[in-house]
Amino acid sequence: MIKFLRIRNLATIEALEIRLDGGFSILTGETGAGKSIIIDAIRLLLGDKASPDLVRTGAKEAVVEAVFDVAGRPVELSGLPEPEDGELLVQRSVTDQGTGKAFVNGALVPVRRLRELGGQLIDIYGQNDHVFLLHLENHLGYLDEALDTPGLVGGTARAAQELRRLLQEKRALEAKEREREDRLDFLAYQLKEIEAAGLKPGEDGALLREREIIKNAERIAGLVDRALDLAYLGEDALIPRLARLRSVLADLAAYDESFGEFGAGFQDASILLQEAADSLVRFKDRRAAAPEDPEAVEERLSVIEKLKRKHGGTVESVIARGEALRAERAGLETGRERLQELEALIESRFKEYAGLAARLGAARKKTAEKLARTIEKEIALLGMTKARFEVRLAEVRPSLDDPGTVRDQGTEDAEFLLSPNPGEELRPLRRIASGGELSRMMLALKSAGQDTGSRKTLIFDEIDAGIGGKTAEFIARKLGRLATRHQVICITHLPQIASAAAHHFHVDKRVENKRTYTGARKLEHKDRVEEIARLIVGSRLTDASRQIAREMLDAGLEKGRTP
């Protein structure tokens, strides 16, 4: 429960401290006094979005902090500092620039951690919550709040989301299948052309040189013959002359060994010359045995030039293009494999989803019966003694042919039916319930949801709007009963509810030096009589109104008050 609340520089609140007790507490005050600002402050502690507009004019920062008594009740802290003496300190600040910080027991935490923690500590019900009962899509959520196995709801939703993701991926792949086939055909055409050419690095250069040889074949043949003559034939031929020179140097080596070294050098030169001459002979023989076909060379060069123009200007770029096309083709063919994998995976995930949804459906059917009986008991305590209530479930069978049937909520839709009076048929709640009946139904639903929960702080923000008379008395009693298990804080304008509470705080607004200030103080018996009388008749109090207020307060609607 909340033990202490401090607010600084929030809207019209400059500084406010409230010490709270367990049981049933109410806040009253004139419309516009600032009661909702106190609720806004608590919402900040629960991780609600912070706006710089909340910061008091002229201040740099608004700060809200609260001390919670969590002794004897489990709170999931997930690594946060443990409470000291069973107390948890939660702080939140927001600057006039919209930035801010959050702390739990002095440790800096992200705002999402406040939401996680706040959900364990506080539930806030607003004055318009009953309007949600008019919307059919909200009924299933109220039913799920009463489930014994709430984890099935999240598990089913996650399974549905994963299945829809896979179905979407499959549809995307199928939509691209025609495009992929066209692309594969195009790749096959280009690859066939490149692979048929069988290009080798530097091949175009070699062919260009060959073209020059063919073009100048006669002159080249003559020069080759002339070179061979100079190497082999005649008195001036190099190879025979080198042989004679080595012989002379060998004779000289008999007189001086150093001439042997000279001879070795000329021998190396003779070997190189002989090898070069042999190459010329082979060239001549090759050309004579199989002369190059000039047309074949030109055709090959034409093929290469065509591919070069298409794919980057060089033989190397053509070869690289072929490798890139093969890689792309492999990727596209992998897409086909992914489609086959998806079909098997979707089948498996569909069975998983259907199984979870079936378990959730069975749990809902069981809970629907139990919730209906609980609600009938609750609304009987709120004055609807002869009313009947039913939760009607309709099944939506899931199908892979219709992804819209794969729903986070599972395979059921729920609708609340009500028969408020004896002899009347059960009809949709959204069509027949009055405002007062809706308020009682909402409180009954919230009470049913809290019956099995751990002790929390329940805040009711003017849920009594639009009701009065006996309905107000019934709600006062119900809030009092809730306060036996939880700390209940209620903002109200009704004297019936105000007189049923154990603790009463009055919120007021004053103007000083052209500045507005909101404050709050705890009322004792005498002041409570005055405030309840104001709730009964307005600002013009009379002795009669005070007497009625005193009687209501003294009676305390004992069935609803928490000591």
Residues β-bridged to residue 516: 511
Distance CA 377, CA 444 (A): 9
Radius of gyration of the chain (CA): 47
Q: Which residues contact 455 (CB under 8 A, 6 or more apart)?
A: 1, 73, 485, 486, 487
Instruction: Write out pLDDT tens, residues 92-140.
Output: 999 999 899 999 998 899 998 898 888 788 888 876 666 778 888 889 9
**pLDDT category of residue 560 using cuts at 50, 70 and 90:** very low
Distance CA 38, CA 155 (A): 36
Q: What share of the chain is helix, strand, coil (3-state, %, to 5)?
A: 55, 20, 25
Question: What pLDDT, on the 0 to 100 scale, is given for residue 413?
Answer: 95
Q: 92, 114 in Cβ contact below 8 A?
A: yes
Sorted by where each begins, the domain ranges of the chain are: 180-330
Strand order in the sheet with 457-461: 122-126, 457-461, 487-491, 24-28, 503-512, 515-522
Q: 44, 64 in Cβ contact below 8 A?
A: yes
The mean per-residue pLDDT over the stretch 69-74 comes to: 80
The single-letter DSSP state of residue 34 is: S
- Across 39-69, b (16+ Cβ under 10 Å) vs e yields bbbbbbbbbbebeeebbbeeeebbbbbbbbb
User: 245 or 28: which carries more pLDDT confidence?
Assistant: 28
Q: Which residues contact 551 (CB under 8 A, 6 or more apart)?
A: none
Residue 391 phi/psi, 5-degree rounding, is: -105, 110
Instruction: Write out pLDDT tens, residues 515-527.
Output: 999 999 999 999 9
Residue 67 C-alpha from the chain's centroid: 32
Coil, strand or helix at 415: strand
Distance CA 197, CA 95 (A): 72
The mean per-residue pLDDT over the stretch 489-515 comes to: 93
This prediction's pTM: 0.61
> What's the whole-number average pLDDT of the chain?
85
Question: What pLDDT, on the 0 to 100 scale, is given for residue 506?
Answer: 96
Give the type of residue at 362. Answer: A
Coil, strand or helix at 27: strand
Question: What pLDDT, on the 0 to 100 scale, is given for residue 562?
Answer: 43
Distance CA 156, CA 137 (A): 17
Q: 414, 139 in Cβ contact below 8 A?
A: yes
If residue 335 lies in a helix (H) or strand (E), which one and from where to where?
Answer: helix 315-381
Distance CA 318, CA 283 (A): 31
Distance CA 48, CA 265 (A): 96
Percent of the chain residues topping a pLDDT of 90:
39
What is the CB-side half-sphere exposure of residue 106 using CA atoms within 13 A? 5
- Using CB atoms within 10 Å of the CB of residue 359, give its burial: 0 to 12 exposed, 13 to 18 middle, 19+ buried: middle
Distance CA 380, CA 385 (A): 4
Give the count of beta carbons closer than 10 Å to the beta carbon of residue 26: 26
Coil, strand or helix at 92: strand
